[in-house]
Homo-oligomer: A and B are copies of this chain.
Amino acid sequence: MNYQGRKISLVVIRRLPRYYRYLGELISQDIKRISSKDLSEKMGVTASQIRQDLNCFGGFGQQGYGYNVEELYYEIGCILGLNDGHRTIIAGAGHLGHALANHGGFEKRGFKLIGIFDNDKSKIGTIVNGVEIRDIAKMGAFLKENPADIGILAVTRDSTKEVAKEMIQHGIKGLWNFSYVDLDVPDDVVVENVHLSDSLMTLSYRIGEGKI
């Protein structure tokens, strides 16, 4: 990971979306600036952690003033690559695919859904959140005409590898993978695996705390 020649650890990167969400809330509350102390209390992390994280990117705060909320929001958006937008497709129009297509937060953060694909004839031709479900057999042809950079894998486990391969062949650079399959991808393609059960297992631990 690097930003303007600096090496940034993935641990820091993974905290940025949270800063971004909180700053977005502050903007909606019309808050113009915030100290690292107030931001840290709101987010439940230490002020020194926040300063350290944001210093990785050159530091946006000013001594005695704190952070300019809109500026910091915009800058983190730049770092995360959100401000230019991402053209996104979903493979799999089952319940998960529908839930993701209807997720209000994605478009707000610059992820524009341009296509959704399935092999179920009863679904093809229906509309989800303004986007027509198309035959997954025609996904490659669609991508040739309508390039996209993010592919969401919400298909069954069995077909994940095949669908991922076709997405990559047609220029997808980032795969958001909801199936529990490890994917081998070329060096210029990245995969984020979503393991929902990890968060459920953490909840289980926290319920049990003190009982052990």
Contacts and interface: CB of A to CB of B under 8 A. Distances in A.
Contacts of A201: 16-17, 20, 80, 82, 109
A194 B205 contact: no
Interface string A183-205: 00000001010111111111111
Interface stretch (A59-67, A96-104, A114-122, A161-169): A96-104
Contacts of A105: 180, 196-197
A195 B17 contact: yes
Given A196-B194, A198-B21, A209-B1, A203 B180 contact: no
B199 A176 contact: yes
Interface string A124-168: 000000000000000000000000011000000000000000000
A209 B2 contact: yes
A17 B211 contact: no
A48 to B, nearest CB: 16
Contacts of A82: 201, 204
Copies in the complex: 2
B174 A207 contact: yes
A79 B202 CA distance: 10
Contacts of A102: 95
Contact of A174 (B110, B196, B204): B204
B190 A207 contact: yes
A80 to B, nearest CB: 5
Nearest to A78: B212
A111 B78 CA distance: 40
A98 B102 CA distance: 14
Interface string A10-33: 000110111011000000000000
Contacts of A106: 197, 200
Contacts of A176: 199-200, 203
Closest 7 CB pairs of A and B: A81-B208, A17-B198, A17-B201, A95-B99, A95-B98, A96-B99, A192-B203
